[in-house]
Amino acid sequence: MPDLPMKYSIITYGCQMNKADSDLMAALLDRRGWQPAETRDEANLVVLNTCSVRERPEHKVYSVLGELRRWKLSRPEAVLAVSGCMAQHAGEHILARAPHVDIVIGTHQFHHIAELAERAARGERPILDVATDQDPSGSRCREGEAVATAPLRAFVPVIRGCSSFCSYCIVPHVRGPEASRPPEDVEAEVRSLVRQGTREVTLLGQNVLAYGRDLAKGPTFDQLLARLENMSGLWRIRFTTCHPRDVTEDLVEAIARLSKVCEHIHLPIQAGTDRLLEEMNRGYTAEHYLDLVDRLRSRVPNIAISTDIMVGFPGETEQEFEESLQLYERIRFDSAFTFAYSPRPHTAAADRTDQIPRKARLERLGRLIERQNRITLEANQRQVGEEAELLVDGTAHHGEGLLSGRTRTNKQVLFSADAHLIGTLVTARLTQAHLWGFMGELV
């Protein structure tokens, strides 16, 4: 980059896949001699890694781009890039609406960020790269290669894209069809991370259970878990997200049998009546989902089950909404991400004429959150007094002198102890339940 300190700042919206993509961009920039900026003012490259899954975060990106206009005016040499799902599906529009953007780089090309940033810095701007040739193998390190930062808990994408076409979802249209990374690639990356201090990995995909289907010689996802189980130095394995349609007996067995695989599954249900599930093109019934939950709970005692729930899908009646709530009461999720339906371009549901008014969608969302909060709190309260293994991952954001750890069931516990325990496994008694997790004490 001519004459300017090579300092970057990445702002991330959306899901864990996006977070992982940001980590990968950071690692690739580091490798080319860039350094993370302490503040935005110090940065000469700002990347906005965006999300399209709902409309609201898209508005937010345009407003942040507006704010960055001043940053850009004061340093015309600096480079402003937009990546992620919005870049992929609305690239031209972004350049038209925010002409101070230098680079629009899509979800298939983001691993070229450093090269594009240097081209833009040399004056070649704007650059629009939203080509869709899928390369799932983008990796922060090859076998034996160093990474600038190997976090204690790392996120490792194993499959990108989605071939499910739920009728509300923009992701398959933006991120393209499923593409699995070769298992050797995944293993090599995890091994490098572990060698440098990572102790827990979360394997990521829009649907990790589709892993391997597009590879000539598999393996299936449960087989991938089994391969990682044997890696010494790795303590915990997590994975997300799982399509309920694709949960197999082999997967349930793998969670039960493999000691490093944590007792937690994120299993988005989306809706609770057969008619809505059918209209959403989800490929399972309420009965099937209930059966799955029973099998998981009987085979893996203490498993935590979390979910995604959407309200206000087109045509959802008040009675269907109530029926869904009753199903969630029966299931008793440990926690849920809750969303009001948002019509998205390219999706079948967006064209329907029976859209639910925004006010009603938000009102249902409020009722759902209230119910689920009570269920989450009750689930946590039942665990008070129990002991749990924690991976201590740092100091608490709030609360002077407290450390923060995660249970195998992915719940947060704050407790008082010396900072030298960060990065170790400890046992704590859960003393107080909250919505966000627990207060605890070392045993």
Point out which span in 51-59, 118-126, 302-310, 418-426 binds ligand SF4 (CB under 6 A): 51-59
Least Å distance between CB 132 and ligand SF4? 14
At 81, give phi and psi (nearest 5°): -120, 145
- 433 part of the interface to ligand SF4, by CB under 6 A: no
Q: Which residues pair with 270 in a beta bridge?
A: 309
- 169 part of the interface to ligand 5AD, by CB under 6 A: yes
Q: Which of residues 242-301 bind ligand SF4 (CB under 6 A)?
A: none
Point out which span in 10-18, 254-262, 357-365, 375-383 binds ligand SF4 (CB under 6 A): 10-18
For ligand 5AD, which residue of 342, 376, 404, 407 counts as binding (CB under 6 A)? Answer: 342
The contact mask relative to ligand 5AD for 40-79 (x = CB under 6 A, - = no) is -------------xx-------------------------
- 52 part of the interface to ligand SF4, by CB under 6 A: yes
- 440 part of the interface to ligand 5AD, by CB under 6 A: no
> Looking at beta carbons only, is 102 or 320 nearer to ligand 5AD?
320
Residue 344 interface partner, choices ligand 5AD, ligand SF4, none, CB cut-off 5-8 Å depending on type = ligand 5AD
- 84 part of the interface to ligand SF4, by CB under 6 A: yes
For ligand 5AD, which residue of 111, 112, 344, 364 counts as binding (CB under 6 A)? Answer: 344
- 267 part of the interface to ligand 5AD, by CB under 6 A: no
Residue 147 interface partner, choices ligand SF4, ligand 5AD, none, CB cut-off 5-8 Å depending on type = none
- 204 part of the interface to ligand SF4, by CB under 6 A: no
Amino acid at position 82, single letter = V
Least Å distance between CB 181 and ligand SF4? 16
> Looking at beta carbons only, is 85 or 403 nearer to ligand SF4?
85
For ligand 5AD, which residue of 13, 155, 168, 211 counts as binding (CB under 6 A)? Answer: 168
Residue 85 interface partner, choices ligand SF4, ligand 5AD, none, CB cut-off 5-8 Å depending on type = ligand SF4
* Cβ-based neighbours of 44, under 8 Å, separated by 6 or more: 1, 4, 5, 6, 7, 8, 37, 75, 77, 78, 79, 121
Least Å distance between CB 424 and ligand SF4? 32
For ligand SF4, which residue of 17, 188, 305, 310 counts as binding (CB under 6 A)? Answer: 17
Residues in contact with ligand SF4, total (CB under 6 A)?
11
- 307 part of the interface to ligand 5AD, by CB under 6 A: no
As a three-state string, the secondary structure of the chain is: CCCCCCEEEEEECCCHHHHHHHHHHHHHHHHCCCEECCCHHHCCEEEEEECCCCHHHHHHHHHHHHHHHHHHHHCCCCEEEEEEHHHHHHHHHHHHHCCCCCEEECCCCHHHHHHHHHHHHCCCCCEEECCCCCCCCCCCCCCCCCCCCCCCEEEEECEECCCCCCCCCCHHHHHCCCEECCHHHHHHHHHHHHHCCCCEEEEECCCHHHCCCCCCCCCCHHHHHHHHHCCCCCCEEEEECCCHHHCCHHHHHHHHHCCCECCEEECCCECCCHHHHHHCCCCCCHHHHHHHHHHHHHHCCCCEEEEEEEECCCCCCHHHHHHHHHHHHHHCCCEEEEEECCCCCCCCHHHCCCCCCHHHHHHHHHHHHHHHHHHHHHHHHCCCCCEEEEEEEEECCCCCCEEEEEECCCCEEEEECCHHHCCCEEEEEEEEECCCEEEEEEC
Point out which span in 61-69, 84-92, 226-234, 339-347 binds ligand 5AD (CB under 6 A): 339-347
Q: Which residues bind ligand 5AD (CB under 6 A)?
A: 15, 53-54, 168-169, 268, 270, 308, 310, 339, 341-342, 344
Q: Which residues bind ligand SF4 (CB under 6 A)?
A: 14-15, 17-18, 51-53, 84-85, 171, 175
